Structure formats: C-alpha cells, structure tokens
Chains A and B, each alone.
Chain A
Amino acid sequence: MDFTEDQIERYSRQIILEQVGGKGQQKLSRAKVLVIGAGGLGSPIALYLGAAGIGTIGLIDGDVVDLSNLQRQVLHTTPHVGVHKVESGRRLLEALNPDVRVQTYQEHISAENIMTLLPDYDLVLDGSDNFGTRFLVNDACFFAKKPLISGSIFRFEGQLATIKPHEGYPCYRCLYPEPPPAGLVPSCQEAGVLGVLAGTIGILQANEAVKEILEIGDTLADRLLIYDALEMKFRSVGRPKDPRCPLCSANPTITVLEEHHVSCSV
C-alpha cells in the first residue's frame, strides 16, 4: 500500500517513531477494529484510533445521543442530540480522518449478531456498560480467536486488560469466572461516573490496541490494570490463566455462546 503525500504528512509524527515507521503505519491502515459501544469508552477509543489512521473502525450501538451523554461521550456533539450514536460517531470520524472506513451497526450487541460480526475484524475493544455484554464479548472473542481489549469504569475507578486466550493468555473469566447476579448491582445511572475517567481508560484501551496491531511493547495480556482517579494511583495485579476456567481451560463447561442479563456494577 502506498501512502499519498497528505497521508505521509498526516501520520508523520508517528511514522518517524522507530517502532512505527512506514511498515507500522501500513499495519494500522490495514487493521480492522470493532468498537463495542459508542459511549464513554468507545468515544475516545474511536477518536484516537481514527486519528491514528486505523483502516476500518466498526461501531456498534443501538442508542441515540442524549444530552446527559455529552459530559463524557466526546464522539458526539450538541447538534447530534437525538441522532443515533453510530451515525453521530461516523460523521465525526469521517470529518476527523477521511482515510478511515467507518462501519456502523445500529443495534445492541447480542448472542445473535456478534458471531457474524467478528470474522470481519482483527481486534475488538469492549466499551460496553453491563456485565452481560462483557461476558458475552469475552466468550465470543474466545470462540472466534480475536484479541479483546477490555476496559470498564465505575465512579472514579477503572480497570483494563488485554484478553488473548487463543495465544495462551487468560480470558476475562479467568479473572472473574461469573457475572454478579442481578439485584446486587446498581445501574450506571445511579452510580455516576467521572467523565474524564472514561477518557483515561478509553485512551489506554486505544493504546493497547495500537501496540497489539503494531506488535510492539508489553501489553496487559497477563495483568489487570486498576486506576483510581481520586487517589491518582495506577496499580497492576497478576492475572494468571485459570486451569479451572469455565471457558478457556482444557475442560470447559461453557461450549456455546450464552447471554447473561445483568447491569452495571457491584
């Protein structure tokens, strides 16, 4: 793939990085990433990956932009209140970088649609807002052998992990075997979230994705990163592969995709 002069200028600040170069830029330009949710996490993910020149960005979200979203969902602007999030996102991404092909799916991710979407993508970033979707996306990515960058936020706290069980690393269920039962969890609306925190975690997810595509650096494939925005502390803890994992161990109890219905956080 040859770059135009405009493209070389656009990406010059990263092409001059030894770890990126022209070859790395080509990898980015050929990459296809699926962003689950065009919300608080999906917004910074899509914006930074779009700006970096990722070739194809898939956006899946069934919601429309609400005024209360704009405190953190920076992919959407005030004139787009009432517009479907994926359409609003597509417009901003195309204005930001016409090199990016934006695929939109105006629906919620489900056990029915996820396995038909995944074959078209190299990597998945989870910015979903409920446990059911998180476990579904983890399981589906395991079955489809796609790397997954998982990020989640709650009030002032964020968690981040790179999930690649097909390369011998732990999956999300090795970390948390089961979602919490319904009733133990308040909704995000009740819980609240700091807008900037969504940006912090989303951008770290984008960073992990870029490294995964470029095959550079150390990733969070065997660690969990925990961020406390109030105390301004980042910590990482070990994330071993669970020999009794219900999904990715030698003797799994989950062999088909199933959907859980639980909401936001503990």
Chain B
Amino acid sequence: MITVRIPTPLRPMTGGKSEVEGTGASIGELIEQLNAAHPGLKDRICDEQGEIRRFINIYLNEEDIRFLTGKDTPVKDGDEVSIVPAIAGGGHD
C-alpha cells in the first residue's frame, strides 16, 4: 500500500481524513485509484486534459514528481505520497 497525505482543502473528499491508502504502479495510476475510492479527487488534482494542475504539487517521499517523470513516476508499496497545493491566505479577510 502507498500512503497518501491529503491537504486540508481536499479533505472534504476523503471524509476528513488526512491520510489515505492507495495502490498503483505509477502516480497516474494511483490518482485513478484514489478517485475511484474518493470520487471528485482527480478533478481537483488534474485539469481537463488530465495533467496535474500547475498550482498543485505531488511529492514522492519528499521529491516533487515534476522533477522526476511526472505522472509516470513509478511508485511502490511503502512509499509516501503527499499532495501539496499552493495556499495563499495571510489571515487578512
């Protein structure tokens, strides 16, 4: 199993869970599998073309997959994947 850390903005889709388990041989497969278990998650992570949105980063064990092989980056049991979107609040409003 692959442990996936879910950021605050996406937790409504995982029933409030900050961590879920997933499977797949690549990041792309993992996203598909996560979406099957938590519908709507993929739309938040990927754009209409299925590419990972440019204000969302996915880390495989602390490394940004954009600097590996993107969605094709291989994953294996025991890996930790983190989804980290840009946040902008400064506590003003």
Question: Which A residues form the contact surface with B (CB < 8 A)?
Answer: 37, 39-42, 63, 69, 72-73, 126-131, 133-134, 151-159, 175-180, 185, 187-189, 191, 193, 195, 197-198, 224, 226, 228, 230-231, 235-240, 242, 262-266
Instruction: Select B88's contact among A129, A224, A226, A242, beta carbons within 8 Å.
Output: A129
Residues in A neighbouring B53, C-beta threshold 8 A: 180
Nearest residue, chain B, Cβ from A179: B55
> In the docked arrangement, what's the CA distance between A231 and B7, Å?
12
User: Smallest CB–CB gap between B90 and chain A, Å?
Assistant: 4
Residues in B neighbouring A39, C-beta threshold 8 A: 90-92
User: What string of 1s and 0s marks CB contacts (under 8 Å) between B72-93 and chain A?
Assistant: 0000000000101111111111
> In the docked arrangement, what's the CA distance between A133 and B55, Å?
15
A157:B7 contact, CB within 8 angstroms: yes
Residues in B neighbouring A228, C-beta threshold 8 A: 8, 18
Any chain A CB within 8 A of the CB of B57? yes
B87:A159 contact, CB within 8 angstroms: yes
* Residue contacts A-B, CB under 8 angstroms, 24 given: A40-B89, A40-B90, A72-B91, A73-B91, A127-B91, A128-B88, A129-B91, A129-B93, A152-B87, A153-B90, A154-B88, A154-B89, A155-B8, A175-B57, A176-B55, A180-B85, A193-B91, A236-B62, A237-B64, A240-B64, A242-B66, A265-B86, A266-B85, A266-B87
Q: How many B residues, CB 8 Å from partner?
A: 28
Instruction: Select A154's contact among B9, B59, B82, beta carbons within 8 Å.
Output: B9
Question: Which B residues form the contact surface with A (CB < 8 A)?
Answer: 7-10, 18, 44, 53-57, 59, 62-64, 66-67, 82, 84-93
Instruction: Select B64's contact among A72, A154, A239, beta carbons within 8 Å.
Output: A239
User: Smallest CB–CB gap between B76 and chain A, Å?
Assistant: 19
> In the docked arrangement, what's the CA distance between A224 and B84, Å?
10
Residues in A neighbouring B8, C-beta threshold 8 A: 154-157, 228
A265:B90 contact, CB within 8 angstroms: no
Interface class of chain B by DSSP: mixed
Residues in A neighbouring B92, C-beta threshold 8 A: 37, 39-40, 63, 69, 128-129, 188
Instruction: Select A177's contact among B54, B82, B85, B91, beta carbons within 8 Å.
Output: B54
User: Smallest CB–CB gap between A76 and chain B, Å?
Assistant: 12
Instruction: Select A238's contact among B54, B64, B90, beta carbons within 8 Å.
Output: B64
Nearest residue, chain B, Cβ from A127: B90
> In the docked arrangement, what's the CA distance between A250 and B85, Å?
26
Residues in A neighbouring B89, C-beta threshold 8 A: 40, 129, 152-154, 188, 191, 193, 264-265
